[in-house]
Structure 1
Amino acid sequence: MKQCFVAILVLSVFTWNYALAQDAKGLTKKEQQVFNKREKSLIQQFREANLSWPVQQLYLRSFKQDGVLELWVKNSLGEPFVLFKTYNICALSGKLGPKRREGDKQVPEGIYYINEFNPNSDYHFSLGLNYPNQSDLVFADSKSPGGEIYIHGQCATVGCIPILNSPIEELYVLASIVRKQGQDIIPVHIFPIRFNNQQSAQAIQMLVGSNPDYMRFASQLKEIYDYFEQYKQLPIIGITQEGAYKILSR
């Protein structure tokens, strides 16, 4: 249990230092252009949705089976998250199941956070994810687990999450704003399915039926999914020495 807490603290310190370094540099010309283009529209969208601006916290939730990326927002620790927008993922790679090695074309499944803001991406703008995380490193190929997983623009992928240029501009602006407002970690949870959808549950049952390791892994993700569905809050999640996700605080 102690090791799980250490993992969370390390992630927090790393992201906080990264955010300070980025803020110190200021916006690039390309970032300023997209802020000028998107911020006014976002303010209007928040007003129409009866949401406060500027947004304080952002949570991203993706479903591989549905091919969508959800944006959830809130403005204080105590209040529940509210679904602000859902983006379609415009290209899919691989199949249900986690990423385990370089070149497998799999989109990861698991609990991640944004660790890179790249306004000079080959895919317009991109937000990097911290794959492989400590859970992935337990199960993935020890020599070549893969990496460089992004949410990005355009419509091509070999394991990333592409959402076209207009959505990535909006998301990039929102993520930049919550970082400036003090959100050190912007969580990104990637699920294989919506676990409360019967048809999806049947699809994954066919996959896990012959794979007990994936069954255990999927059940860990389901517990996190179920918690958020019930409370619209995020639990504190740790990673055990064996690579399992574990809810530490309810």
Structure 2
Amino acid sequence: MISKTSLLIVILSLTHFLSDSFKESQLKYTRVRQAYKDKENSMLTLLKSKTLDKNSLKIYIRAFKKEGIIELWGKDKNHSKYSLIKSYDVCSSSGEIGPKRQQGDLQVPEGYYHIDRFNPYSNFYLSLGINYPNRSDEILGVKNKLGGDIFIHGNCVTIGCLPITDDQIKELYIFCIEAKNSGQSTIPVTIFPAKLTDENYKQLIDQYKGSSDKVGLWEDLKKGYDIFNKSKSLPSIAFLSSGRHKVYE
């Protein structure tokens, strides 16, 4: 009969194996190993400056199209409030303000998303897939012509993606690896048309008041923007049958 101590050792060993499995699978790729060689120290320094531990890390990404910025936020998984870790400059853009509604429109999506893929052998160095089209996009976009393959990636070229430099994607990519490796099953990503301060929001609504599609989405994004800026905690998001969102604390 196995002793309680032996059983505990087996459980701890299995837990350690499972927690390391995603990172270890990523480290099989040359570019990921190079990213850790180049950026692990800077990642650890940033985490230390925010009193965060990579072994209990949860992250949140939000992007602002007008400003061309991607923000990386992090927290300990046992706490509720996030702190800003770093901002990255988007180095190329396509399309204009407003959501992506069909393949080939060159638009960068806007809305509530999450990272759904890690591509360590991307044509754009390293890339993090965004789950476009989400449920809202499927309802409001052009049926059967929604497109896909939207990423945060390197190489500073884009048709509807969010590119940053190869140097920056190395760092952001390994942050995401560490968060997933520490047990974060879903890394949320919110893409905004702009920073939705009251002033910016009013300007957008006034400018595009004839577009119920844009105005409705931005109203839902504004709610999430305000909740997060006030509490530094993520809002809850539900997709409605209309394509709109229920956004609440």
- Sort the TM-score into its range (normalised by shorter chain): 0.7 to 0.9
Q: What is the deviation of 1:213?
A: 2.6
1:218 matches 2:218 = yes
User: After superposition, what is the alpha-carbon deviation per residue over 1:192-248, rounded to whole angstroms, capped at 9, x for unaligned?
Assistant: 1111162x335413442121232112101101111101110002211011111112x
Structure 1 partner of 2:11: none
- What TM-score comes out, normalization by structure 2 length? 0.86
Distance 1:215 1:26 in 2: 40
Q: Secondary structure at the match of 1:91?
A: coil
Which amino acid counterpart does residue 52 of structure 1 have in structure 2?
A: L
Stretches of structure 2 that go unaligned for 5 or more consecutive residues are 1-18
Question: Between the two proteins, what is the percent identity of the paired residues?
Answer: 35
Aligned counterpart, 2:230: 230
- The letter of the residue matching 1:129 is I
Q: Identify the residue that residue 46 of structure 1 maps to in structure 2.
A: 47
Report how far residue 44 of structure 1 moved: 2.0
Q: Distance in 1 between matches of 2:221 and 2:50?
A: 31
- Once residues 116 and 77 of structure 1 are traced to their aligned partners in structure 2, the CA distance between those partners, rounded to angstroms, is 25
AA of the residue aligned to 2:35:
V
AA of the residue aligned to 1:220: D
2:98 alignment counterpart: 97
**1:78-97 to 2 correspondence within 5 Å?**
78-97=79-98
Cα deviation, residue 75, structure 1: 0.6
Counterparts of 1:121-200 in structure 2 under 5 Å?
Answer: 121-196=122-197, 198=199, 200=200
In 2, Cα distance between the equivalents of 1:25 and 1:85? Answer: 26
Structure 1 spans left out of the alignment, 5+ residues? 1-18
Q: CA deviation at 1:38?
A: 1.3
**CA RMSD across the alignment:** 1.9
Relative to 1, partners in 2 of residues 1:84 and 1:215: Cα closer, same or farther, differing over 3 Å?
same
Question: Which residue of structure 1 aligns with residue 243 of structure 2?
Answer: 243
Q: What secondary structure sits across from 2:27 in the alignment?
A: coil
CA distance in 1, matches of 2:226, 2:138: 25
